[in-house]
Amino acid sequence: MRIAITGSAGLIGTALIRSLREGSGSRPSDTGKGPDAGKGRDTGKRVDIVRLVRREPRAADEVRWDPRRQTVDAAGLAGCDAVVHLAGAGVGDHRWTAAYKREIRDSRVLGTAALAEAIASLDTPPRVFVCGSAIGYYGDTGDRRTDESAPHGDGFLARVCVDWEEAAAPAAEAGIRTVFARTGLVVGRRGGAWGRLFPLFKLGLGGRLGNGGQYWSFISLHDHIAALRHLVDTDGLSGPVNLTAPEPVTNREVTAAMGRVLHRPTPFTVPTPALRLALGEFADNVLASQRVIPQRLLDTGFTFTHPKVDEAIRAALTS
């Protein structure tokens, strides 16, 4: 199998490439039942990886693309069986100025459109296009359990996710099975939003955000990578798929779990006004509640290794 990946230097891309190379084509989660479910299955297939990079290629496995200018070296994608698109500016990396909000949107929408058009133009296109998305699509869901059948919500991130997914239309129209990986909060200590929490909690400075009642739909890094591979491997699966653990927890529960696992006190509370002062508009998303359920993953037999938040946190400490 030959798989092209954007965002290969990020938290998810790095872990996905490592999983593919170490697994030699085996699935990290089996879709079957029985005693071996979730333990992986060796397909016996070699996995060749193509990394899309925004600079001049320096290795045989690199292909040039420029998402901002919407250019892709389509010839370098010839022979790919799958394309996994993970690139996009970090949502919480900078304060949300008008310029950075434009960067968040353009890095996703323009890049997706360019990549979808490029693979659609191939004489033999890939059989599957897994396009990154986010549970931000649903907006603030409060305490309502929300699956993939829910409509999009309101707000900046919801609008970005709608445009992001719509930009993949050329691939779907060309008959490529197109899947939208609507990702929740990935529990990893080396990057992403959760990666910023670990140092604070290790110092005993962790605490709940706002009133702590908002739901956080998390997923362990291991399960996220296994789910991405499940999306690639599961024929017939297309459209939106939530990549979250089965039971979301509140921020208050996350705070308690971090304290338990790290053996640290969690006495602090960051009040809402302080969050708004520190983060600006992005604070609304930190305080938003998203109780998102991975119904389609469960329906297709995916097995979670770390369904509980304590397990996900412990797994992050050993990865």
d(CA 154, CA 164): 15
Q: Compute CA distances 213 → 174, 218, 261, whole Å.
A: 44, 15, 20
Please say if the pLDDT value at position 14 is more than 70.
yes
Mean pLDDT of the chain: 91
Query: What pLDDT does residue 41 have?
Result: 40
Please say if the pLDDT value at position 271 is more than 70.
yes
Backbone angles phi, psi at 185, to 5 degrees: -80, 115
Query: What pLDDT does residue 34 have?
Result: 34
What number is the average pLDDT over the span 300-305? 97
The DSSP code for 152 is P
Please say if the pLDDT value at position 38 is more than 80.
no
Please say if the pLDDT value at position 36 is more than 60.
no
Query: What pLDDT does residue 92 have?
Result: 86
119-166, pLDDT tens digit by residue?
999 999 999 999 999 999 999 999 999 999 999 999 999 999 999 999
Task: Give the number of other Cβ atoms within 10 Å of residue 203's Cβ.
Answer: 10
Query: What pLDDT does residue 319 have?
Result: 79
Please say if the pLDDT value at position 47 is more than 60.
yes
For residue 216, which of 190, 183, 191 has the smallest C-alpha distance?
Answer: 183
First to last CA, the chain: 26
The DSSP code for 140 is -
What number is the average pLDDT over the span 185-199? 92
Task: Show the beta-strand stretches assigned E in the chain.
Answer: 2-6, 48-53, 62-66, 71-72, 82-85, 128-134, 177-183, 185-187, 207-209, 215-216, 218-220, 239-243, 249-250, 268-270
According to DSSP, the residues that pair with 181 across neighbouring strands are: 132, 241
For residue 2, which of 76, 67, 66, 54 has the smallest C-alpha distance?
Answer: 76
Domains and CATH numbers, the chain: 2-187+219-244+293-304 (3.40.50.720)
Of all residues in the chain, the percent with pLDDT exceeding 90 is 84
Query: What pLDDT does residue 42 have?
Result: 42
Residue 252 in tokens: 């208050």
Q: Is the pTM of this model over 0.75?
A: yes
DSSP-derived 3-state class of residue 37:
coil
What number is the average pLDDT over the span 70-92? 95
Please say if the pLDDT value at position 94 is more than 60.
yes
Please say if the pLDDT value at position 30 is more than 50.
no
